[in-house]
Amino acid sequence: MNLTLKIWRQPHTRAKGKFITYRLDDISPNCSFLEMLDILNEQLIGNDEEPVAFDHDCREGICGMCSLYINGRPHGPDDAITTCQLHMRKFRDGATIVIEPWRAKPFPVIKDLIVDRTAFDRIIQEGGYISVHTGGAPDANSILISKEHADLSMDAAACIGCGACVAACKNASAMLFVSAKVSQFALLPQGKVEANDRVKKMVAMMDELGFGNCTNTYACEAECPKLISRSNIARMNREFICAKVS
């Protein structure tokens, strides 16, 4: 495959960025998207040019670090995948591919395609945990939890915090992420002790960091690589209202 890449280059947070065009030839359709970027960087280094900075870690669709906006979609032209799971066979030979970082004020660009997602960490620190002693594995069997609630909690806990929901939302809302982190505990008895404080603190921090309100367009759910349900947002809203009036 022969490709034209238009990649956002930005030296640092305060610098003015711009798109730079690169050509890549003879790329295998079986390459992953990140492997394709590796090949580009090898060529740039060989030509004594600055390689493109992009974030990655596990390359197994688990860590959520490979957050790229590709041809107008978070994680690219496929459903329920992260960028590292995207393969070049999803593009046609001769295609032009536009690659950008997440565009959201709470996610400032560090360099090129890498953004600072510390905002998500700060939201988690406000309440995305339980402090009660739950004992060891045998003790868990003594707390009865319905399969429905256990399944819903596990589905919410599947969120990897990649930020695709924020990137997809025209208001840069983080409500799908925050609601998933609220829901994974709100559905379990172990999470009830701090439920009121948790939802109030996490929502307050989300607002303080500058994330927008939910647009109700469901773009977040559509682009989520882990298919986190928008029903979690409704659950978070209920939790929040109950916490405020209690």
> Which two structure tokens, joined as six digits, stand for 63?
């860590």
Q: What is the CATH number of the domain that holds 148?
A: 1.10.1060.10
Residue 129, pLDDT score: 86
* Last-in-domain residue among 94, 111, 128: 111
Whether this prediction's pTM lies above 0.85 is answered by yes
Residue 143, pLDDT score: 80
> Which two structure tokens, joined as six digits, stand for 197?
């404080």
Amino acid present at 238: R
* Whether residue 60 is found in the same domain as residue 26: yes
Residue 225, pLDDT score: 97
Q: In what order do the strands lie in the sheet with 73-74?
A: 18-24, 3-9, 96-100, 69-70, 73-74
* Last-in-domain residue among 48, 80, 111: 111
Residue 106, pLDDT score: 97
Q: Please list the ranges in the chain whose pLDDT falls under 70.
A: 140
Residue 132, pLDDT score: 77
Residue 134, pLDDT score: 72
Residue 131, pLDDT score: 84
Domain that holds residue 72: 3-111
* Last-in-domain residue among 70, 85, 111: 111
Residue 49, pLDDT score: 97
Residues 6+ apart with CB under 8 A from 244: 200
* Whether residue 54 is found in the same domain as residue 96: yes
Domain count, the chain: 2
* Whether residue 93 is found in the same domain as residue 150: no
Residue 234, pLDDT score: 97
